[in-house]
Every structure is written in C-alpha cells, then in structure tokens.
Structure 1
Amino acid sequence: MRARPVIVETAPLSPGQERLINDEFARPDGSWPEPGEHTRLRPIDTGAVLIDGPLDITALQRAVSALIVRQHALRTRLYRLAETIPVQLVASSLPDQIHHSDLPGNTPLIREVLLAQSLPLHVDPRSDPLFRTHVIRLGEHRHVLLLQIHHFVSDGWSIGVLYRDLGELYNAARTGRPADLPALPRTFAAVSRDMRSERRSGQLGRQLAYWRERLDQLGPAITFTPKPVQHDTGRRPVDVQRVHIPAAAVLGLRASARGGARGPLAGPLLAALALLLHHQSTATDIRIGMMISNRARPDTEHLIGYFVNTAVIRLRLHPELTAVRLTEAANTAVREAIEQQALPIQDLKQELHQGTDPLYQVTLALNTMRTGTLALDGVHCQDIDMEVTGQRMAPTSIEQRWVLEERAGALNGTLTYQTGTFTSPQIRMALSNLDHAIAAVAAGHPTVAVITSAMRHSGVRA
C-alpha cells in the first residue's frame, strides 16, 4: 500500500481561488457540498499534443515527476475543517505515473475519441488529483499527450509555464543534463500567504481609492434584450461559439496603438469590443471585466498557480469620438488597470456596494503569453483543438465571456453567451460586426466618428 503523502506546506487560498470556490464550488446558499457530490466547479482543463517521431517515454516520465517536484501548485489540495476558513495543502508527493492507452492510428474522428478518453470530468479539489498526464499510442512513432490541469491551480499564464517547464525537463532527461530553468525562490502557497496579508495594506487602500474614482457615477447596466423572469437556480443555459480573428486584423489592431507589429493588443481589442457592445445595446457607458494576470511580483513569473484577477475597463462612447481617441482611452485604461491590479475584484465589489446593478456583464480573457506548442527534441509536436462548443449549463451571470489566445499571430478562442439573452443568428451577426469594429479601430481615422465608421456596413442590429 502506498503511504499517504505528507503535508509540507499550508496557506490560505489566493484571492482568485477564493472566488472560484465561492462562485463555482459552494452551493448557492454558501454551504459546501458533501464529498462525492456533483459541484458547479468547471471541469478539469485538457490540452492535447500530437507527437510525431520517436517519443522517449522514460524521459517523459522523468520530466513529469520533476515538474511535480518543481511546481508545488500541482500537489495542492483544498481543505476546510467544519466551518473554518478554507486553506490549500501542499503534499510532499503526488501520484505521477503517466496513464497509457492505445488507439489505432487510422481511427476516424480521432479528436472525438480523445475527448471521450480524456474524461474531462468535474473533480473535487479536496481529494482528486488536479494534474494528470495520459499518453495515447497511435502508432510506433505517433502519440498524443493529454495534459490535464485544474483551473483551481492554473490560469492562462500557467499553461505557458507548464509547456515550457515540461519541454525543458524532457529535453534534459533525454540527454542526462541538468534542466536549464529559472529558479523558483517562492512557492505559489507562499505568495498566496502574502496576498492574504496584503489585502488590508496601505498599497491596496490606495488602489481602492483609484477604483472608486474610476468607477464613480456608473451608468445603468447594459440592456441587450428583454429577459424573461425565471427562477434562479445558479445554473443558466449557455452556448459556446468559436471565434477567429485573422493575423492581418490582429496586426492592424497592434499598429493602431502606435507600436507597430509589437504594439499592445489589449487596448485596441477592448475598443473594438466596446463598439460591438454599443451596437448591440446602444449603451454608452461600457464596462468590461478584463482578466488580468496579477503577477506584478517578480517571483511569480515562473510559477504555476491561479493568480488571475478581474479589472473593470470602463469606456464611455459619444457620437464625436474618433478611433484614435477611443484607442488612446482604452490603452490608458488597460495601463492603469495593470498598475492597480492587486486589489481583488470581490473586495472592490464589496466596497462599492453596487446593489443589483453589476459592475460588468461581459468579460474578456486575452492570453498572449503562450505563442507556441510543447517543444520536445527529436519529435514534432502539434496542438489538437480540444475545445468543446455547443449548449450547456454554466454557473455564470455573465452575458458574454470572450476567451481568446494569440497563436501564430491570429486570435482564436470562444464566446460563451447566455441563450436566454442571445440567439445563434444574433451571435453570428455580432461576430461579423466585430470584424467591422476591428477594421474601424485599426484604420485609426483622426476625424471621422468611430461609431459611424464601425457600423457603416454592419447591417441590422445584432
């Protein structure tokens, strides 16, 4: 019998983990589910990499073991005794054996079979492993590597760290050399302790003052369409639509920020999204919840963990606003949000006492950190799209959730939307209108009103 792992570190939850547990794990009344009870927590996230060439399984096993030793977050569990404040426990070890299976290489619909094999089930962070690896053999020199990591211990930035660390550890294990990776002076648990102690600090008090001023005198919540009154069960029907923004359009957005091909992307993209939301609703006080890395500390850059926070990007539109002015406003809002990113969004909401009007109804997660796939010496690696679209139930009150990742210069991702608010034709029209909005922002006309320019060819309102 395998000995139970020893707990080597304890820490409070990070503010991001706290939000996940409150919003997606706890029951609607705030109580915790019993062990084994199905929860609202999102499924474990799966990445799939097709590997062509002679994969060294022994080196891969050593790399996985070394990764789990290096990144403490992968050995984390959630724990709460009775009604005490929940904490994260870091174990001394984790079962790190790679699961293996075979699949004939000529099997049709390989992606669908992989989705079934990956078992993207809801997991209980109190007991289930939050990091798993699975190698599927398609042929002698063809494999698929499934990497499953729960978002309780991982954000978008972390995926890039995981791929980089695993690739370097594999390449080092193949040749017997030491891995060339940055030192990790702190653990995710240690940083979480700091984040907890800083929540009432003077620095966060100054950030609260900034956000109070920034969000003063908010306009009403966006009204997209009349919504039927229905009993709130905590889970709402949503649909997921794929989103693709071509590399040429992305380059145009970057250039509009006056930074050329390397210009900032978040501001111009938010400007275009604000135009779309105005077109959908006629609202002029646009607030978007932007996912922000919250890794201003230098000792967090190379850590796997859930740090992400939400910043409220507020853009006010008027008939004379030009693309240049809108982009400048968006760039300023993003820059200041990054400077004031440490205040947890749940603390801000509590301080502002918004009542029934939400701070934002649309969110944007933009990941520009992982520009390549896993890099393993001696083989060719290629990502397999494992995103599942279609209708589902989700624990969200957000009307639209945009999740985009930059790969090969383009933006790809998903738009999750509430079907009680939007129809499929409306969303398809919205994506077409987003193209017009992006073109208007990228054109950067200094005198023509950007609202007029963006919607000149957009057709009927979405």
Structure 2
Amino acid sequence: MVKEQDVRNGSASAGELSRSEASPAGRIQREVPLSYQQQMRLRRDVAFLDANRPIDNHPAGAVYSVTGPFDVVAFEQACGDLLVRHPVLTIGYSLTSGVPQTGYLLDPALFRVRHAESVTALANATNAVHRSAFAPDDFKIQITWAPSTGSETGRILIAADQIAVDGNSWTTLLRDLSQAYELRLRGRSLAELEPAADYAQYAAEQRASLMSAELTGRMAYWRGQLDPLAPFGEEVLAGARRPPAGPRSARQIRYSFDFDLLLAAQETGTTPFSLAMAVHAAVRYVRSGRSVVTTHCTADLRGAEYANSVGWFSGVLVVRHKVAVDDTPAELGSALLGSVFDAVDNAVPLAILQQELEPDRLRSRHWQPMCFLDVRDMEDQNSLQLAGCTLTEIEDDLSLPGLRDGVACWFTSAGQRTDLLMQFEAEAWTRDHAETFVADLEYVFDLVLQDRDCTIAEMADRDWPEQRQPRNKVLFT
C-alpha cells in the first residue's frame, strides 16, 4: 500500500515543473564556480541555441517497477535530503548573456517529486527526458512517481542532467537516495552522515590547476605522445570515407556475443576493459596495417576526497599506443591499460588539447575516424534500493551516450552474455563495414578464448576476408 498523506499538495504534475518555481530571482543561495566540463557543455548549448537546434543532453536515468509497501512522503523527504547533500543537483545558470563562468544554487525546498496519473503518463515523462527536457534554469534532476494497478505498486523515473551527474556519480546518487529513504522511514535524515565534498570545491580546484605550471608539464607529455605518432585517427576505420559537408546522421547497432566478457577476462588473466581494448586494437591493427592505435575512453578523474560526491568528474582521454606484434592479447591489454593510466596522470581536457596541439588534426567537430570505447558490468551497477520494497529496473535507453565522430562502442556484460552497443556515422561507414567490424571483433574474441598465447602477429596471419559475417543477427536502428 502507498502512503500518500497529501503528497500532491504543491506538487507539479509529470513534465510540468513550473519555471516560476525554479526561477533564480530572489532564491539564489550563492554563486558557484563551474568546472571545465560544465563550461564546455554550456558553450555547446549556446551554439545549439544560436543555430535554433534543441539542446542535446544525454542524461543518466533509470525506470524502476516498485512492488510492496511504498511510503511516498518518506521518499519525497529523502529526495529533498539528497539535494541538500549534493548541491550540484540544484545548480542553475542563464544563457541570456553568453556562456557564464558561474552558476547559482536553487533552494532545495523548491524541488518537488513529480506525480504522473498512470504508468502511461510516466512513459510520456520518460519521452520528454529523451527530448532534452533539462533547461538551464531547471534543477538538474527529475524524479517522477506513477501509481500502478495489480501486483505492481507503481513506477519511479529518475533522470539526472549530465552537467551535474556523470556515470560514476550516478551510482553514488542512487546509493545515497536508497540510504536517505531508509533513514526517513526511521524518522532520521542524511544530515546525520559525514558531509560529502562539494562539487563546487572540485570545480574551483580544477580551474586553478588549469592556470598553473602543472598544466605546462602535462602539455609537454601530450606533445611527446601525440606529435611523433601516426596522423590522428587514420588507423581506426578501415574503409571509412570522408562524408560530404553538412549534417551527419548516426546508425546504431546492437549485437549479442555468445560469451561472458567477465569470464573471458578472468581466463586470460586481465580485466574486461583491457581485454576489450586489446581486441579492438588487434582488429584495427590488422585491418589498417598501422601499428599505432588511438582509443578514446572516459575516466573518473576525481581524487579520493570526492569519492562520495556527485558531479561531473569524468573526462574523455585520448589513448595512443603502438602495438607490439609479439604481444598476446592479455599483454597488449595490460600495455594499453598502462597507457590509460599515463593519460589519467597527465589528464588535460580534450578541448584544450584540441586548441593547443595541431587543431586541424585534433578538432572533434570536423570529421575524423576515431574510436570511443567503454565497458560496463551491468551486474555490478549500483541500483536503487527502497527498504521494504522490491525494485526491478526496466530496460531503457535514457543513459545512452551521444554519438562521437567515427565509431563508439559500449560493451555491457550481464550474466552469461556480452552485448555490444555501437554507433557510427552513416555518411562515413556503410552497413557492410559495420557488420564486418562486429564480425572481426567476434573472430578475435574467439581466437583469444581458444588460445590465450596467440600473438597479434599470429592473428594477422589468419584468414581475414574482405567481408566477414557475424554468427548472430545484427540489429540496426
């Protein structure tokens, strides 16, 4: 049974949080510095608005089916506690005067859990999030509750704007909300816990580091890492063609491999991420004939003091590595992981690299066949827990990242299967190229599982037909 106790009093309906409620006028607690990631995101938002395009954000999000006794009042109180603990969720900013250097914090008391009349109405709210529902002067989190009938008590939609919550922070947010709800059921609150470090402090520290001698040293590392190597991106997509000037469109692939990436990594003595990187590198080396491979990946760049904080701590890293053909995939994966750690130690925002190091070669807004890679253990994702209730996460694409130039691959491991979600530019790559790339990945994974001592050179000597077909059906969207 759901305990409501006048929960609708003062609450907005799904998708209808009033701008007047979220208005900064007279309600600003304090101004806060913006991080470099936020600043660049706002710069892009301004460019989109100037071009009369909708702001393109890619929120973290999830939809949960709830069964069992659910206390809506305690849940709403828990949501308020969450905003007090993580002020970045209340950040607002105005784009009317160009790109701001600072944001402002809205009063958490203005936040309301939205109420949908039914699960169908909640689905409409979910679609609104897909349509970039986060506005500059809004709260950076949306939570919608919808009652249901039958055995299901209801459903909860949680979505957070990327400008305030990255993938790593998403698990922290769900953990804290789970704990806040349990505490509220006992008449207590998150305020009892040790405070989390404020993201505004991280933003100020990051801004200071980008104006220090430390940045000079890091730029020297990247000049040595990037300049002497092969032209940026040329080795990634065999057969790719430069698309004509104009708009670009994305194609998406879903594919299920017949193996468990986690188990394969254990058997080869490596990690899922480094094994996926090694297989990618092997395929690109064989297909392009170039020994230098380029991969883009995200990394959590926060220090230990921000381990319990929410914010945008992730950065995109450029990883450049020269393939040693006598390495096994496990050895190549370890070496690639070492290159990732070096990139983390010398992390510089990608936009600064683009500005400082040969802009024509590094500029991401022009076509370049680069590769983005991520691996997620779906069983290890920290999910929402509500004391006394059973929650089932409903599969949804709310957290689908945006297309990057070239190809972007996300491996997700769940149970006994490994799924691949891949995006590519339709103007640069054909459907046949995409299917061959998937089949090549499958072929190399098979080789690794059959013979962990097989070297990259030995793989290159195998049969590599111009077109290879994957075993299972490739789903194109």
Q: Are the aligned partners of 2:22 and 2:110 in contact in 1 as well (CA < 8 Å)? A: no
- Show the 5 A alignment for 1:41-440: 41-79=56-94, 82-83=97-98, 85-93=100-108, 95-103=110-118, 115-118=123-126, 119-120=128-129, 121-123=131-133, 125-139=135-149, 141-179=152-190, 183-220=194-231, 221-222=233-234, 223-227=237-241, 229-233=243-247, 236-244=248-256, 248-256=260-268, 258=269, 264-295=271-302, 297-317=303-323, 319-341=325-347, 343-356=348-361, 361-367=370-376, 371-387=381-397, 398-405=405-412, 407=414, 412=419, 414-440=421-447
Could you say what secondary structure the match of 1:253 adopts? helix
> Does the 8 Å contact 2:59/2:399 carry over to 1?
no
SS in 2 for 1:403: strand
Decide whether the 8 Å contact of 1:402 with 1:414 is kept in 2.
yes
Q: Aligned to 2:39, what secondary structure does the other structure show? A: helix
Cα separation, partners in 2 of 1:265 and 1:9, compared to 1, 3 Å: farther
What code does the residue aligned with 2:265 have?
L
Determine whether 1:14 maps to 2:38. Answer: no
Say whether the 8 Å CA contact 1:49–1:381 is kept in structure 2: yes
CA distance in structure 1 between the partners assigned to 2:339 and 2:158 by the alignment: 35
Measure the CA separation in 2 of the matches of 1:363 and 1:186. Answer: 30
Structure 1 residue 227 displacement after superposition: 2.6
Structure 1 residue 168 displacement after superposition = 0.7
Evaluate the alpha carbon distance shift between residue 449 and residue 407 of structure 1 in structure 2; reply closer, same or farther with a 3 A threshold.
closer
* Distance in 2 of aligned mates of 1:137 and 1:159: 24
Q: Is the 8 A contact 2:292 2:322 kept in 1?
A: yes
Distance 1:177 1:84, change over 3 A: closer
Match of 2:456 in 1: 450
Deviation per CA, 1:235-262: give whole Å up to 9, x if none: x200222354667332222443x3xxxx
Cα distance change, pair 385–84 in 1 and its aligned pair in 2 (3 A)? closer
What is the TM-score normalised by the length of structure 2? Answer: 0.80
1 CA distance for matches of 2:342 and 2:292? 18
User: TM-score by structure 1 length?
Assistant: 0.82
The Cα offsets for residues 171-212 of structure 1, whole Å up to 9 and x where unpaired, read as: 111122444986335311121111111102233332222222
Question: Contact 1:406–1:412 at 8 Å: present in 2 too?
Answer: yes
Q: Is the contact between residue 260 and residue 418 of structure 2 (CA under 8 Å) also seen in structure 1?
A: no
Q: CA deviation at 1:132?
A: 0.9
Q: 1:25 aligns with which of 31, 45, 63?
A: 45
Q: Cα RMSD (Å) of the superposition? A: 3.3
Whether the 8 Å CA contact 2:329–2:452 is kept in 1: the answer is: yes
User: Structure 1 residues 209 and 237 mapped into 2: Cα distance closer, same or farther (>3 Å)?
Assistant: same
Unaligned runs of at least 5 residues, structure 1: 105-109
Code of the aligned partner of 1:64: C
Q: 1:321 to 1:185 in 2, by over 3 A?
A: closer
User: Does the aligned pair in 2 maintain the 1:267–1:334 contact within 8 Å?
Assistant: no
Q: Deviations over 1:47-77 (max 9, x none)?
A: 1111121222111111111111111111011
User: Could you tell which deviates more after superposition, 419-428 or 329-338?
Assistant: 419-428
The change in CA–CA distance for 1:230 and 1:9 in structure 2 (over 3 A counts) is same
Report the Cα distance in structure 2 between the residues aligned to 1:421 and 1:203, rounded to whole angstroms.
Answer: 38
Q: Secondary structure, in 3 states, of the residue corresponding to 2:429? A: coil
Paired AA for residue 428 in structure 1? E
Aligned residue identity for 1:232: G
Which residue identity lines up with residue 373 of structure 1 in the other structure?
S
Q: Deviations over 1:101-153 (max 9, x none)?
A: 2437xxxxx7xx85433122224542233211111222264211100111111
Identity of aligned residues (%): 17
Instruction: State the 1:4 CA deviation.
Output: 5.1
Letter of the structure 1 residue corresponding to residue 116 of structure 2:
S
